[in-house]
Chains A and B, each alone.
Chain A
Amino acid sequence: MEKFDVIVIGAGVVGAMIARTLSRYELNVAVIEKESDVCMGTTAANTAIIHAGYDPLPGTLKAELNVRGNKLWDQLAFELGIPFKRTGDYVVAIDSNEFNKLEELYNRGKLNGVIGLEILGRDEVLSRLPYINKDVGGAMFASTGGIIDPFQAALAPMENAVVNGVKLFLETSFEDFIFDGKRIVGIKTNKGDFLCSWVINAAGLYADTVMHKANLHPEFKITPRKGEYYIFDRNEFAISEVLFPVPTEISKGIMVTTTVHGNTIIGPNSHEVPDKEDTSNTVEGLDEVFKGASKLVPQIANSMKHVIAIFAGLRATGNARTPNPNIDYHHDFLIEVNKDIGLVNVAGIESPGLASSPAIAERVIELLKDSGLKLKEKKDFNPIRSPRPRFKDMSNEERAKLVSKNPSYGRIICRCEYVTEGEILDEIHAPVPARTYDAIKRRTWLGTGRCQGAFDTPRVVEILSKELGISPLEVTKKGDDSYFLLRKTKEV
């Protein structure tokens, strides 16, 4: 049986970043993921902000890794060929009461080492954000804040890791550890046993159950906190800034923000839920998001007819205490190595986990190094992942050239987002192949427009069936039993 030096559990943004960083070294690395694709957990449903780092409490791991992570994204986005925009972000105070709280945020940011913070008065805010609530008291602007495509942020590093030798096992679920005495020597999964020297637990919402299987931190518990969202049709209603309200104790609040694709998105609220699978939208939640967002941008009230999608995500909120004994904070990231057992835990990675993920990966490598893992740099590591053509973003000249070289880029499959057959074929045959409708959606943005797949679904089912050599009846939306079609007609 093949023996891996390191196995990473979980292929969210954190697992993917860790895998890519490990792929720099001469190590035999595997990633296992229970779902049918990378990026189907928390990473698939969040606000997609690369936070500046003024929000976390000074001295926490969150603060340190957020600020460091934020710095790493420029280089990373360049190497991985993914869209990342340093838009800057605003924390908008609605009245003078809230305005007074901005100073606290500003000072916190300074302590955390965030540069480029600025407090703006009411007039300045009104001139920069003419659509803002007229009761605005002022705002804090953070020039290093940014936005990213969260799918690309996980898929691209995973793809780059695979190209550099990491093995990815999808639909492979961790069940238990295999011990030899105190030491982990492998894991049991639904697809059989895997041998290894080290395990990295990046299982998102399930990171607590994974570490409990190694009898570590029985007191540590992950509680899902749901956040709900709306997305708007960019052709009908769009702002191009990132707006936070003044944060509360438990959350950064309901935002109005833009995505790298130009869609305005509002959310999230924040409520504890008992079920780690409960990503359903609720009437109450949607109402709350609507009210919260209209407080910042009143015009939203008239734009609800232009909503094209609603969704919800679950934050993996943990109860770990900050490692710094002088700080009384119990929701910090839990990132630690257990040298004797051979396990690294990366748990409680709630927001700003996406922003922090590159720094989390760095930290994990340091921990492994300190624990004696030999890290020899590969000579042939290739950090570059070239972006694939995006028909939609091209000029007409570029389109003409692309189509004349490869005619399948000439056929539009998704009419709202202008995704072509060529792009879909590329993704089906990519190093991390897309094998479901949603996998293609995450990679190409197909089906995310006004008609929400009404037009493209039959066509994508046809393409997937042909390329994967399966019957249309076997094509799924997101793996498992999510079949689009149940039988042929005329067969009762």
Chain B
Amino acid sequence: MKERYDVVVIGAGPGGLAAAISAKKEGAESVLIIDRDKEPGGILNQCIHNGFGVEIFKEDLPGPAYAERFINEAESVGVEFLLDSMVLDITPSKKVYVTSKWFGFKEIEATSIILAMGARERTRAQIRIPGFRPVGVYTAGTAQRFVNIEGFMPGKRFVILGSGDIGMIMARRLTLEGAKVERVLEIMPHLTGLTRNYVQCLQDFNIPLQLSHTVNRILGKNRVEAIESVQVDEHFNPIKGTEEIIPADTLLLSVGLIPENELSKKVGVKIDPLIQGPFVDEEMQTSVPGIFAAGNVVHIFDLVDWVTDAGITAGKGAARYVKVVKEKGDFVKLVPGNNIHHIVPQYIKRDALINGPVKLMMRVVKPIEEKVWVEVSDGQNLITRKLERYVRPAEMVTLTIPQKAYDDVRKTKELIVSVERFGG
């Protein structure tokens, strides 16, 4: 494994795989894809039912088979894999910190990063289900992993909350494995998954669906013993008197997915509060230049085919970004120096100043509550500087490199920006 890659993709689900392949095909020389799981494929590995690939392949494939095609393609175009390895942190200057049992703790440099971490499931607390905290309350995805990957049944009698596709598919799966699914409860007055799945997963197996119903309470202290359901009115308030005790040993929650954007937030990517995914442009580039996003990280997609499509777009964007940055000698890197956390942009064209001054935006690491110089140098010579009354991490600092610095900038490989004492 190298220390530097053109493109590093975080997440080897369908979003990440498609992005990695397309980045490579578009000319990125080195592409690394990192996943915390032992196998690439993301959530598809546990989706052993079919329904994948109808749009792209005109074939109805099970999840692992769909993933397999992309894994093979990624390997054949020379994408490198780092598996069973988790990314802990990324920086705006595109450093990737990753930890692994097999490869140790590593710092990898990238020119461009693609975020493809997928989504996580909403949990019990987010929908505030009262009662005890026994074993036997699982998200549908966790139960799916137990059943389809590990080969174990987490219960015998199930109640499922949520009529999305994941919930309905699990209802059928569990029934096929000999479990009794007592009920699927749905708080909305309508189904939230596909009608096709309602017919094939519930009706065909005589699993009752109750709309406008939710879980009122979990009974059982050590192990789930029963679920109390209740009907809700149009404002989702429980209707007194409609409570019903359903004996069961397991409750599955299939109540929605949330884009997994912890890393994105840490690196300063702006998140759209409406969808909890990053704001992106037409190339799937986020608010941090050179950082792209692919798949469920952006927003929850219905179909894996669309995830793949958007992944391809992100991969192209990343490759283009790399090309621009790498066009030999054409770029000058902006390096954070003393007390600078990061600078945007991270690179400027060597002759950028021909067209006018260049504005830099940056954040400092530590507050300094006195006059300071914010300076740009080439490592030896001062190129420009600006006096600030104070600097604080919460307040962005800007600095403009004037046109007259054209000659100085052309001569150097990098520009260092730093905060220096006023007296110095």
Residues of A near any B CB (own CB < 8 A): 230-231, 235, 277, 279-283, 285-286, 305, 307-311, 396, 399-400, 402-404, 407-408, 410-412, 415-416, 418, 420-421, 450-455, 457-458, 461-462, 472-473, 476-490, 492
Contact = CB atoms under 8 A, between A and B. Distances in A.
A491 B242 CA distance: 37
* Max chain B Cβ within 10 angstroms of own Cβ: one of A400, A410, A457: A410
B222 A481 contact: yes
* Max chain B Cβ within 10 angstroms of own Cβ: one of A403, A408, A416, A490: A403
Contact of B101 (A421, A473, A484, A487): A421
Contacts of B177: 489-490, 492
Nearest to B130: A281
Given A277-B221, A403-B104, A489-B147, A283 B152 contact: no
Given A407-B104, A415-B86, A452 B123 contact: yes
B219 to A, nearest CB: 8
Given A280-B132, A407-B101, A476-B135, A486 B142 contact: no
* Max chain A Cβ within 10 angstroms of own Cβ: one of B89, B126, B155, B249: B126
Given A411-B100, A458-B142, A481-B223, A487 B153 contact: yes
A482 B134 contact: yes
A487 B152 CA distance: 6
Interface in B100-142: 100-105, 107, 120-121, 123-126, 128, 130-135, 138-139, 141-142
Contacts of A454: 120-121, 123, 138-139, 141-142
Given A279-B133, A415-B36, A454-B142, 4 more contacts: A280-B132, A286-B130, A396-B107, A485-B153
B233 to A, nearest CB: 15
A280 B133 CA distance: 7
B339 interface: no
Given A396-B107, A403-B99, A307 B128 contact: yes
A478 B126 contact: no
Interface of B: 36, 84, 86, 88-89, 97, 99-105, 107, 120-121, 123-126, 128, 130-135, 138-139, 141-142, 145-147, 149-156, 177-178, 216-218, 221-223, 238, 249, 262, 265
Given A308-B123, A411-B101, A472-B150, A478 B135 contact: yes
* Max chain B Cβ within 10 angstroms of own Cβ: one of A418, A473, A476, A486: A486
Contact of A410 (B101, B120, B145, B223): B101
A458 B149 CA distance: 10
14 contacts: A280-B130, A283-B238, A307-B126, A399-B105, A400-B104, A404-B105, A408-B101, A410-B100, A412-B86, A450-B120, A454-B138, A458-B150, A461-B150, A483-B135
Contact of A451 (B121, B146, B249): B121
Contact of A281 (B97, B104, B131): B131
A420 B125 CA distance: 24
A349 B235 CA distance: 43
A308 B151 contact: no
Contacts of A461: 150
A308 B126 contact: yes
A310 B121 contact: no
Nearest to B219: A280
A411 B86 CA distance: 8
A311 B221 CA distance: 12
Nearest to B221: A277
Nearest to B224: A482
A407 B102 contact: yes
B99 A457 contact: no
A222 to B, nearest CB: 19
A290 to B, nearest CB: 10
A458 B135 contact: no
A224 to B, nearest CB: 14
A485 B177 CA distance: 14
A279 B221 contact: yes
Contact of A400 (B105, B121, B238): B105
Contacts of A402: 105
B97 A411 contact: no
B326 to A, nearest CB: 27
Contact of A489 (B120, B138, B139, B153): B153
* Max chain B Cβ within 10 angstroms of own Cβ: one of A402, A454, A462, A481: A454
* Max chain A Cβ within 10 angstroms of own Cβ: one of B99, B128, B139: B99
Nearest to A451: B120
B151 A489 contact: yes
B281 to A, nearest CB: 25
A412 B84 CA distance: 9
A451 B151 CA distance: 22
A418 B88 CA distance: 8
Nearest to A277: B221
B354 to A, nearest CB: 40
A55 B196 CA distance: 62
A472 B152 contact: yes
Given A286-B130, A415-B86, A454-B141, A309 B125 contact: yes
Nearest to B89: A396
A483 B223 contact: yes
Contacts of B132: 279-280
B90 to A, nearest CB: 12
Contact of B154 (A396, A455, A485): A485
A430 to B, nearest CB: 21
A484 B154 contact: yes
Given A399-B105, A412-B36, A488-B152, A310 B222 contact: no
A120 to B, nearest CB: 24
